[in-house]
Amino acid sequence: MEYVEILRARRVLFWFGLSSLGCLAFTLMGIYWSHAHVNAGGSSFGSENLSSLVGIAVFGGIIVATALAGNLNAEHTTTAIIWTRPRSREAIAWRYVAVDLAAILAGYAIVLAAIVVGVIASGLMPHFHVDAARSLTLFALGMGGAAMWYGLVSVAAARLEGHGARVAALSWAVFLIGGGVIAAPVPDLLHYVIVALNYLNPLAWLGDLSSSGVHAGGGIHSVLHLDPWARALGAWAIALVAIVASTKLWSTREA
Amino acid sequence: MIAISGLTKRYRDVLAVDDVSLEIPAGSICGLLGRNGAGKTTTFKCLLGFARADSGEVRFDGEPLTPQTFATLGYVPERPALYGWMTVDQHLEIARRSQPGHDAARAKELLATFRLDGRKKAARLSKGQQTALALILALTHHPSILILDEPASGLDPVMQRVVLDILIDAATSGATILISSHQISQIDRAADRVAIMRDGKIVVSGVLDDLREASRVVEATFDKIIPDLGAMEAEMRVERAGTSVRAHANGRADAVAARFGALGATGVRVLDRSLEDLFLDAVDDGENR
């Protein structure tokens, strides 16, 4: 049955890849045609850590995650096909999840590749240095955040038949606002409630993944005062719990 | 073989399926009839595990339902469950990948029979073609158990006949078939057994020929007045109209006809009743009189 999800993921990745390619092309055209080329040898552009790009690319994974997270829920109209196969419903659900996580990884890779190509084409590559350990941390954290986003949308939509896409779209507003209001001047008690709720916000776990969000010691700013590896593990743990719950809810519902 | 015993399903205050028991032997086609909302689709859902029965038991060839049951079970839902954005061929690919017994040659043959274009998207198929695709998906792994909810819905009369022929062939090969349809003539033609549901209960069930035999009516005409019918009126339902009498013979039509003859009837006829008559009698709740 994962064949259906493979086709869906393929379609999402095709359009996502095409959009990324379009963005890359426009960016490069903008650089060359406006003559506002980057001063590759100038002092205005200091040495950057390439791993920052690994962090930023996570949004590719998140976009693909939100595009796919409602798909198991969307199967409520095709129960007669999907639940009449000689496989347990849990096994079917987990195969869907496996396909989706692979597609999220591909979405991540597409954006990372587009950014790297853009950096190389604009002649900025000599200004980047590679920090393998930090790149790995950001990759683990980024994929954890995307998987957490996927899991939370899946579990929220598991019993809301036909509303998977809406829940996925709404998740952007909820998580962005949730992360934003944390800095709002509110009474202490409300602030603590907001911080507590942000433990279920993938953006809070991700923190500031750009170079400006990096501490001198290599840490990354986040409203959650944990080191990046702890945040990566936390995000993956929440993702796993949410995905297990969503597959359970989906496979035990009535049609 | 499908064996259902004491199946009950309640949705809040509504008793959708009420203590349904039914046995369909291998090689048999059982028609499940009933008005809209009688509980047919809910019964199917409980059979297939789509809905959890509150009580009762279902066994397929002696075994309870497990995922493996679907390796030998084909199901056609009331409304075709298809992926509108996928082509006919892609639907068959699902069957090929997920059904161990998938027969590609059979799928191709059925596509030709129903004149379906494999490249066409499901959303672009007519209702009848969608039903045909749902049927093909249910048949390509040569299931030994078939559960069909309105399998000929939307099909033209020629294709309806094709579907019935396929089902009769499958039953002849030993398949157990449970079929629901509002088109009683289809059930009459294909089924050898029938179960009629009303308000979630099975009110009539059995071998169709036996039910027909049991429901025959004897009509007698007398010259001037109807004589005293003696014990007959206590034994069976008797309707009088002028100098005619109709007796519901309860499977003893010949004996009842002989009794009318002995009472001096000038004319005696034994009337066969159609499945439609049986159905209308069984679902009659008095509202339409």
Tens digit of each residue's pLDDT (9 = 90 or more) over B235-254: 888 888 889 999 988 788 88
**Tell me, what's the pLDDT at A214?**
46
The DSSP line for B73-88 is: EEEE-SS----TTSBH
Q: How does pLDDT run across A147-157, given as a tens digit for each residue? A: 999 999 999 99
Confidence class of residue A216 from pLDDT cuts 50, 70 and 90?
very low
SS3 B19: strand
Cα–Cα distance, A50 to A54 (Å, whole number): 7
Instruction: Determine which of A53-57, A96-100, B67-71 has the lowest per-residue pLDDT on average.
Output: A53-57
> Shortest Cα distance from B82 to chain A (angstroms)?
6
Give the residue among B167, B251, B240 at the shortest CA–CA distance from B216. Answer: B251
How many CB atoms neighbour CB A155 within 10 A?
21
Instruction: Using an 8 Å CB-CB cutoff, list chain A residues near B52.
Output: 254
pLDDT digits (tens, 9 = 90+) for B19-38: 999 999 999 999 999 999 99
The whole-angstrom distance between B157's CA and the closest CA on chain A is 25
Angle, helices B127-139/B157-172, rounded to nearest 10 degrees: 10
Give the Å distances, CA to CA, from B139 to A86, A239, B154, B177.
Answer: 15, 40, 18, 12
B250-281 pLDDT per residue, tens: 788 889 999 999 999 999 999 988 899 889 88
Region B114-142: what's the mean pLDDT? Answer: 94
**Full domain range(s) for residue A223:** 2-38+45-251
Q: How confident is the model at residue B146 (pLDDT cuts 50, 70, 90)?
A: very high
CATH superfamily of B2-207: P-loop containing nucleotide triphosphate hydrolases (3.40.50.300)
Domain count, chain A: 1
Q: Is the pLDDT of residue A40 over 60?
A: no
Q: How many angstroms from the chain centroid is the CA of residue B130? A: 21
Q: Which residues in chain B are classed under CATH 3.40.50.300?
A: 2-207
CA atoms within 13 A on the CB side of B91: 34
ipTM over the 0.90 cut-off: no
Beta-bridge partners for B248: B217
Q: With a cut of 80, say whether residue A88 has pLDDT above it.
A: yes
Give yes or no for A9 touching B (CB within 8 A): no
CB of A28 closer than 8 Å to CB of A68: no
Please tell me the number of Cα atoms within 13 Å of A47 on its side-chain side: 3
Is there a contact between B70 and A85 if contact means CB atoms under 8 Å apart? yes
* CB < 8 Å from A in window 50-89 of B: 50-52, 67-71, 73-77, 81-83, 86
Separation between Cα atoms, residue B101 and residue B98, nearest integer Å: 9
Average pLDDT over residues A95-114: 96
Q: Which A-chain residues 48-87 have CB contacts (< 8 A) with chain B?
A: 77-81, 83-87
B113 touches chain A (CB under 8 A): no
The answer to whether the CB atoms of A4 and B100 lie below 8 A apart is no
In which order are the strands placed within the sheet that holds B2-11?
B14-24, B2-11, B55-60, B63-64
